Amino acid sequence: MLSLPLSAPAGQPLSVLAIGAHPDDIEIGAGGLLLGLAESRLRARYVVLTGTQERQQEARNAAQSFLPGADLTVEFFGLPEGRLPGVWVSVKEILEDVARSYTPDVIIAPSSADAHQDHRTIGEIVPTVFRDQLYLAYEIPKWDGDMGRPSVYVPVPAHLMQLKLELLHKCFPSQRGRDWWDDEVFLGLARLRGMECRARYAEAFTCSKSVIVPAAAARPGGGGDLP
């Protein structure tokens, strides 16, 4: 197990693209990571593909709460919830539009192995649109029981994990009545993923492809751009 720093390009803030099928996906899957990233200079674009007006407003508040101080853009697209496979072309076109105007360093999005059809559709399309970014696919606990075998772990300090829980409850009042929406689910998964990476709490992601560049080769003139 080797820890790799997630560092910004020289002189630039790290830029992140966070994609969710539904309001609350991004924060459940990667809220701790976002809170940690927001402690440094950060440029972020939030793209949420479905959601009623009420839930979109919740997500807008959540984006600002989880990314305080970030240079933040939030976009909603109102596609039909539970039907993203049926509007596959629209999802692809939306993500292609985003890619034309924004080149993030890191993409945080659902996984192609997710059992929810909306999450899975996004996870299948992301790598067809974005080729040159670090794509971290987050996990969402759910009835389907699709927890997989993650490949990337982000330890989350206890105070940020606590803040994540508080913000989830505060930012998404419409979801509090769901039988799975509770601290034990969120904290239990974080503790399990923490145990797997020798931390107290962690969020886990899948990265299906990464390129390792030795530091010397990454420096200007160091041969890092060789084909």
Question: In this structure, how many other beta carbons lie within 10 angstroms of the beta carbon of residue 195?
Answer: 12
Residue 122 has phi, psi (to 5 degrees) of: -65, -45
In whole angstroms, the minimum distance from the beta carbon of 61 to Zn ion comes to 18
In whole angstroms, the minimum distance from the beta carbon of 189 to Zn ion comes to 15
Distance between CA atoms of residues 91 and 97, nearest Å: 10
Restricted to residues 22-51, the positions that interact with Zn ion (CB under 5 A) are: 22, 25
Asked if residues 37 and 10 have their Cβ atoms less than 8 Å apart, the reply is no
The single-letter code of the amino acid at 72 is L
Restricted to residues 72-131, the positions that interact with Zn ion (CB under 5 A) are: none
Pick the closer one to Zn ion by CB: 48 or 160: 48
Pick the closer one to Zn ion by CB: 21 or 109: 21
Pick the closer one to Zn ion by CB: 42 or 122: 122
Minimal CB distance to Zn ion: which residue? 22
Pick the closer one to Zn ion by CB: 22 or 193: 22
Helices vs. strands in the chain: H and E counts, helices first: 7, 7
- Pick the piece of the chain touching Zn ion (CB under 5 A) from 16-24, 31-39, 58-66, 183-191: 16-24
- Pick the piece of the chain touching Zn ion (CB under 5 A) from 14-22, 92-100, 184-192, 193-201: 14-22
Residue 175 has phi, psi (to 5 degrees) of: -100, -5
Task: Please give the order of strands across the beta sheet that includes 152-155.
Answer: 71-79, 42-50, 14-20, 106-109, 134-138, 202-206, 152-155
- Pick the piece of the chain touching Zn ion (CB under 5 A) from 18-26, 37-45, 92-100, 174-182: 18-26
The single-letter code of the amino acid at 107 is I
Pick the closer one to Zn ion by CB: 71 or 144: 144
Asked if residues 15 and 9 have their Cβ atoms less than 8 Å apart, the reply is no
Packing angle of the helix pair 53-66, 158-171 (nearest 10 deg): 160
Pick the closer one to Zn ion by CB: 178 or 198: 178
In whole angstroms, the minimum distance from the beta carbon of 224 to Zn ion comes to 37
Per rule CB under 5 A, count of chain residues that contact Zn ion: 3
In whole angstroms, the minimum distance from the beta carbon of 43 to Zn ion comes to 24
Residue 55 in contact with Zn ion, rule: CB under 5 A: no
Residues that bind Zn ion (CB under 5 A): 21-22, 25
